[in-house]
Chain A
Amino acid sequence: MQLKDLLKAACLGVAALGLAACSSNSVTDSDVSSQESTGGSQQVGEGAQQGGADVEIDGVSPILTAEEQERQRVEAMRQESQVVYFEFDRSEISGEFIEILEAHAAYLLDNPSVTVLIEGHTDERGTPEYNVALGERRAKAVARHLQSLGVLASQISTVSYGQEKPVNSSHTEAAWAANRRAVLVY
């Protein structure tokens, strides 16, 4: 972050001296935003005008409405939580993942051109071929849930890897629990 800002400042300086044109728009952008920001902590040093590199540019978040705050919280949750976990040999979505799926549905509704791939996975117990079937059922359970929230079927595709791609390849209850999952991939 700092390095980037320093570079920008260096560019500014060079431009000011008229020795070369900086190619990036970001020069003007950061310049403008630093001028327009209110109540900010940015300091534009004297050096910026004189070809030095001694500036620090920063910004602040806009004041959010409650609605915007909620939207951000949901988006953060969507970005953090892309995995739904399942019980052994089951494909029902348990209550704790409903909110996460709602976040994904909201995002997909807002962005109808975005598509999501849902990967179904299982633990290593049972047979590989049966587990491919079970993994598909898990992926489809997630897909159906998104569709019930209004997401278009054309935005969703599924693939089952069964037990072939564990996140934890040890042979313990904890590993199995981590591997019984559906993953939303954008």
Chain B
Amino acid sequence: MMKRLMLTFGLWLCSIAGAQASLEIVITEGVDSARPIGVVPFDWQGFGDVPLDISKVVADDLRRSGAFNPIAVNQMPQTPKDDSEVDFDAWAALGVEAVLVGSVVAAEQEGQYTVSYTLVDILRGQAAGNQELRDGVLVQTFDHVLLDRFRTVSEPQMRQMGHLISDRVYQALTGERGAFLTRIAYVVVDENASYPFQLRVADYDGFNESTLLRSQEPLMSPSWSPDGRKLAYVSFENRKAEIYIHDIYNQQRELVSSYPGINGAPQWSPDGNSLALVLSKGGQPDIYVMDLETKQLRQLTKGRRIDTEPTWMPSGKELLFTSERGGNPQIYSVNLDSNRIKRVTWEGDMNLGGSVVPDGSALVMVSRVNGEFRISRQDFDTGYVQVLTRTRLDESPTVAPNGSMIMYSTVAGGKQVLALVSMDGRFKATLPAKAGNVRAPAWSPFLN
């Protein structure tokens, strides 16, 4: 019955998983200062072919972070199987500061694999060696070992295991948490499909894509719950804007907002208990906060002008939003305790679509620069604004949970595609899609 109902409204709930990447990250601007690193192909101990080249997943992750430059396998001085085989001097001669070695061993239980990895600090190893004399005996030392771990995983989990290793390596070498074991939600619009609007979720690198919802009417503004389990989004399946909450694991959907007029721009609060949203039931679009337990609304803005695009400060005590109360759209803040509203952006004739970085130090937004819409970053303490992109139709910026990277939607080659830019603007990549236009990206929270 439910299925039938869905069909009559012209949409389809589904979950089609595949390991293939429908999006693929292509680096368009690298960073000269990216640090050389050795990611040695993992040693395979099992029958037949290795199920997945994990070290390639790790090398790709680290390269796409913009912070590292994994050297090509055919440029490596050696391919050691474990840390005891590492020739520190040979790697140091290439300027490599760290080398990752590892192995994949087929476990006794079929379909299970034990993945081990060791991250070796070349400079420390070069200085101290991996042996020292203790009480007149030559012993192995491990001062140069930054990471040494293993885990047994099933074949479908191996790609995630690769991202997990990338997270660990990134953190060990930069001091900051990696955001490789994360997902993105986005909307694909394919005018030739029978259900042209599709809400999809994939790993951050475009692999393991699943379609959560297909519809004949627009889908907009996906937003992740802080636990990474639910998405709030806008669907026009009933020929009007309504907000749904969709559990991506069990496919349950709940209609949470269907007031007259706009029901838009949902944004989950940091504690997960409420949803900021835009309603125009009062006559014009205003910012509200909905208690998800009671569905009670609190209205935060009033007035005849457009207020939209709420985004939470990490404290959960303040929201930023776009308003054209000053003429053109600019970004303002509203304090939830005092209800006080302050203007935040001052540079340029339009700033909108704001998203606060996870540590609360800066705002990422869409700025109109010479008539073109570009991604920019404004630091809160100095007010300094840096335009990060050079394209003309950028929108929907979303920040990686570690604050290192911004994903956004832009137009390239006549199609809407997703793109990446690092927080300093120096690294850029696009994620061309196989079919359709891709927009409205939302980067998940940390999933591990």
Q: How far is the CA of A137 from the CA of B305 in the complex (A)?
A: 10
Q: How far is the CA of A162 from the CA of B285 in the complex (A)?
A: 13
A171 at the B interface (CB under 8 A): yes
What chain B residues lie within 8 Å of A128 (beta carbons)?
A: 220-221, 395-396, 439-440
Q: How far is the CA of A170 from the CA of B437 in the complex (A)?
A: 11
Given contacts A133-B280, A171-B414, contact A160 B395 (CB under 8 A): no
Given contacts A125-B373, A127-B396, A164-B218, contact A170 B262 (CB under 8 A): no
**Cβ of A169 and Cβ of B191 under 8 Å apart?**
yes
A-contact 0/1 string along B227-248, CB 8 Å cutoff:
0000000001001110000000
B435 to chain A, nearest CB (A): 14
What chain B residues lie within 8 Å of A132 (beta carbons)?
A: 220, 241, 262, 264-265, 285, 308
Q: How far is the CA of A127 from the CA of B284 in the complex (A)?
A: 18
Name the one of A124, A127, A136, A170 contacting B352, with C-beta atoms under 8 angstroms.
A127
Given contacts A126-B352, A160-B262, contact A134 B306 (CB under 8 A): yes
A165 at the B interface (CB under 8 A): yes
B199 to chain A, nearest CB (A): 13
What chain B residues lie within 8 Å of A137 (beta carbons)?
A: 284, 306
Which of the four size classes fits the interface of chain A? 20 to 34
Q: How far is the CA of A161 from the CA of B217 in the complex (A)?
A: 10
Give the A-B contact count at a CB cut-off of 8 A: 82
By CB atoms of chain B within 10 A, which of A125, A134, A162 has the most?
A: A125
Number of B residues whose C-beta is below 8 Å from A?
A: 35
A103 to chain B, nearest CB (A): 25
Name the one of A124, A127, A133 contacting B366, with C-beta atoms under 8 angstroms.
A127
B329 at the A interface (CB under 8 A): yes
A130 at the B interface (CB under 8 A): yes
**Cβ of B353 and Cβ of A130 under 8 Å apart?**
yes
B371 nearest CB neighbor, chain A only:
A125
**Cβ of B262 and Cβ of A133 under 8 Å apart?**
yes
B86 at the A interface (CB under 8 A): no
What chain A residues lie within 8 Å of B369 (beta carbons)?
A: none
B254 to chain A, nearest CB (A): 21
A137 to chain B, nearest CB (A): 7
Closest 10 A/B residue pairs (Cβ) = A164-B218, A127-B353, A133-B306, A129-B265, A133-B285, A129-B309, A127-B395, A133-B308, A129-B308, A127-B352
Chain B residues with a Cβ under 8 A of chain A: 191, 218, 220-221, 236, 239-241, 261-262, 264-265, 278, 280, 284-285, 306, 308-309, 322, 328-329, 350, 352-353, 366, 373, 393, 395-396, 411, 414, 437, 439-440
Task: Name 25 A/B residue pairs within 8 A (Cβ), A-sorted.
Answer: A124-B393, A125-B373, A126-B350, A126-B352, A126-B395, A127-B309, A127-B396, A128-B395, A128-B396, A129-B221, A130-B309, A130-B329, A132-B241, A132-B265, A136-B261, A137-B284, A159-B236, A159-B239, A161-B218, A164-B218, A164-B220, A165-B218, A169-B437, A171-B393, A171-B414
Contacts A136-B285, A160-B241, A164-B220 aside, 12 further interface pairs with beta carbons under 8 A come to A127-B396, A130-B308, A130-B322, A130-B329, A132-B220, A132-B264, A133-B264, A161-B236, A162-B220, A164-B236, A170-B414, A171-B411
